[in-house]
Each structure stands twice: as C-alpha cells, then as structure tokens.
C-alpha cells in the first residue's frame, strides 16, 4: 500500500470470526507478528477473545484484532454458550469483521453460517479463504462471497491484500494504544493459555475439553520467576489420566509448558502444576466467571 503522507491516522477493531479450526488464531498471530493466541490441531482451542495489536507506520494505521472462538452451531453447555457470547460481543465492538472460511471444509451450511454472522448493518466485512496452501490447483472461489481473498495463514501467503482491505475500512481516528503495544491481556493470561495449549496437543480425545488452567501464583524473582498453576478437570477419573503413571504425564506437560512460557516471557521460570477436580466446571456460571470465560456482571 502507498505511504500515507497526509498525517491522518486510522484505528479500529477487527473481529476475526469463522468455524472452529479454520486458522483464525494462526492468522491473528501472523498479522500481529507474534504468537499471542494459542494454536492447536484440535477444534475449539480458543475459548475467549484474545486481543492483538499492530501499528503500521506506513499505513498510519493501528489495527486491534479480536481473535474469537470457533462458532458453535448448537451450544451444549454453558462454556460453549459463553464462547458464542465472546463472538457476538467482538462483532458488536468491531469496526471491521474479518470472516474466515476453511479450504478443507467447503461445507455450504458452514459457509452460509459464516456469511450470515458477518452480515452486520453498517459494518464492513472482509472475507478470507484460509489453508489454500493445501490446494493442488487454483482454489475455486465461486462458493464464497465476491472479493474473498485466498490466503495461507500458516505460510503467511497473500496477507498483504488482507491488511490493505482491513486498513481501507478502519475509521479515521487517533491510536488507542502506544505504537509498540501488541497485547493487552496480562502475562498470567498467556501463561495459562500456553499450559492449555500443551494439554491440547499432548492429551487425547475429550480430555482437553474437560480441562481449564488457573495461574494461582506468579512471582517475579531472580534467578527464576515462580509460577504455580492448577489444572482443573471435571471428573475424578480424569485427574489420574492427567497425572499419569508415576506422574509422568503431568511432568511432561510441565516441561513442555515451561519451555513455551520461557520463550514467551523471555526469562527463566520455575513452574509448578497441580491437578484439581472441579465437577462440571464448564457448566457453572460462577466457575466460568472465575476462569475469565464469562463476563462479570
Ligand atoms: N495447512 C494449513 N494449516 C493451517 C493454516 N492455518 C492454520 N492451520 C492449522 O489449522 C489448525 C487450527 O489452527 P488455529 O489457528 O488454532 O485455528 P482456529 O480457527 O483459531 O481454531 P479454534 O480456536 O479452535 O476455533 C492448526 O493445526 C494450524 O496449524 C494454513 O493456512 N494452512
Ligand atoms: Mg483459535
């Protein structure tokens, strides 16, 4: 895009929405240039909205992205309803809606649902078709709205037109964050998310969906920060699985999480993990509020 020399700044919120596993978090990380939102091969990884900010001096623009959970067609329990609430709230707060389709799931019903969710009066929508790196030939864009941009968030292909389209729709106005700010949520949030990411990639089947992570203590000290976190599970039987034989499973989760946390914070940490049973935490408003998955009223 051409250099903006007029001195006018643009700033606004962009909600990234779409089906689960489409690559929304991967795209936000690519656009912001930092691994802020956790990414796993399992659907419904993201549970809340994750904010990522990029200030582009060439475009004189600040884009504030809201990564959202994957759409849940029929929420089955309170956590899934809360996830849908995050999507709707992000859309309400957004100036631009960045709606994503998944090349590997060309399901007309899913496409229709995404288009409907993005159709908000007086709000611009930018459509992207992600994962086109998996296409053997030129992807067929005919099932998608006109102007849909084919991209690969993973390989960071064709992201410039996405940035241009977003910027064109951002309202004129002053920056809301200092230009070097990329995140707003506290370090504790990212620490808990990185532990959750590790659980999602190491534990099988339904187990990740029955877990949540709470950072109980986070003490900055030398030579290592001290972090103490609890992994919540919703049944006694899952506690044993999470800990594993002779504690091996939990140990592995701890080691992998610690590396990710150290990379993220850029300093060494001592990480202690505990597992606690909280029956049906994903069905209870009070628990969901404590975990930050539900807005405090
Ligand atoms: N081949 C390919 N894989 C991708 C691309 N973008 C994301 N993925 C993979 O798709 C999976 C899901 O990516 P996420 O970014 O977690 O997807 P999401 O839409 O945020 O998923 P939820 O938070 O669960 O809704 C991961 O295994 C990513 O590596 C892409 O452009 N190409
Ligand atoms: Mg996600």
Q: What is the DSSP letter of 132?
A: G
* pLDDT tens profile 106-150: 999 999 999 999 999 999 999 999 999 999 999 999 999 999 999
Sequence-ordered strand ranges (E) for 108-224: 124-130, 149-150, 212-219
Residue whose Cα lies nearest atom 10 of ligand 1: it is 23
Phi–psi pair at 69, nearest 5 degrees: -65, 160
Give the CATH architecture of domain 187-290. 2-Layer Sandwich (3.30)
| pLDDT exceeds cutoff 80 at 1 | no
For 10-169, CATH number? Answer: 3.40.50.300
Question: What b/e readout covers 102-133, taking b as 16+ CB neighbours within 10 angstroms?
Answer: bbeeeeeebbeebeebbeeeeebbbbbbbbbe
Per 3-state DSSP, the chain is made up of helix, strand and coil in percentages (nearest 5) of 35, 25, 40
Beta bridge partners of 130: 102
Sign of the torsion formed by the C-alpha atoms of 232, 237, 238 and 240 = positive
The mean predicted confidence, pLDDT, of the chain is 95
The structure's pTM equals 0.96
Residue whose Cα lies nearest atom 14 of ligand 1: it is 23
* pLDDT tens profile 44-73: 999 999 999 999 999 999 999 999 999 999
* pLDDT tens profile 248-284: 999 999 999 999 999 999 999 999 999 999 999 999 9
Pairwise CA distance, residues 29 & 44, whole Å: 17
pLDDT score recorded for residue 6: 61
The ligand minimizing its distance to the Cα of 70 is 1
Tell me the H-state helices in 120-209.
Answer: 160-169, 187-202
Percent of the chain with pLDDT over 70: 98
| 223 cis-preceded (ω within 30 degrees of 0) | yes
**Residues with beta carbon inside 6 Å of ligand 1?**
20-26, 39-41, 43-46, 69-70, 130-131, 133-134, 152-154
CA distances, 68 to each of 9, 190, 218 (Å): 26, 15, 26
Q: Where are the domains of the chain?
A: 10-169, 187-290
Residue whose Cα lies nearest atom 32 of ligand 1: it is 131
């Amino acid at each position: 895009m051409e250099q903006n020399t007029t001195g006018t700044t643009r700033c606004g919120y962009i909600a990234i929405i779409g089906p689960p596993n489409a690559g929304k978090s991967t795209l936000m990380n690519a656009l912001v240039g930092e691994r802020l939102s956790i990414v796993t091969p399992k659907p419904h990884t993201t549970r809340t909205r994750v904010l990522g900010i990029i200030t582009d001096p060439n475009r004189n623009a600040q884009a504030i992205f809201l990564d959202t959970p994957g759409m849940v067609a029929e929420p089955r329990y309170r956590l899934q309803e809360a996830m849908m609430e995050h999507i709707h709230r992000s859309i309400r707060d957004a100036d631009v809606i960045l709606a994503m389709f998944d090349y590997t799931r060309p399901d007309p019903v899913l496409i229709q649902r995404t288009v409907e969710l993005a159709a908000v009066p007086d709000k611009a929508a930018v459509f992207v078709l992600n994962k086109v790196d998996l296409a053997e030939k030129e992807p067929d864009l005919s099932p998608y709205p006109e102007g849909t941009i084919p991209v690969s968030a993973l390989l960071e292909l064709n992201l410039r037109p996405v940035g241009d389209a977003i910027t064109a729709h951002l309202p004129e106005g002053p920056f809301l964050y200092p230009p070097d700010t990329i995140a707003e949520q506290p370090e504790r949030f990212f620490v808990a998310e990185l532990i959750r990411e590790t659980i999602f990639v190491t534990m099988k089947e339904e187990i990740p969906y029955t877990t949540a992570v709470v950072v109980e203590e986070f003490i900055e000290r030398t030579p290592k920060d001290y972090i103490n976190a609890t992994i919540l599970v919703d049944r006694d039987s899952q506690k044993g699985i999470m800990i594993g034989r002779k504690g091996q499973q939990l140990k592995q989760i701890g080691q992998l999480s610690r590396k990710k946390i150290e990379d993220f914070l850029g300093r060494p940490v001592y990480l202690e993990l505990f597992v606690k049973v909280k029956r049906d935490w994903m069905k209870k408003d009070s628990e969901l509020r404590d975990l930050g998955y539900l807005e405090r009223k």
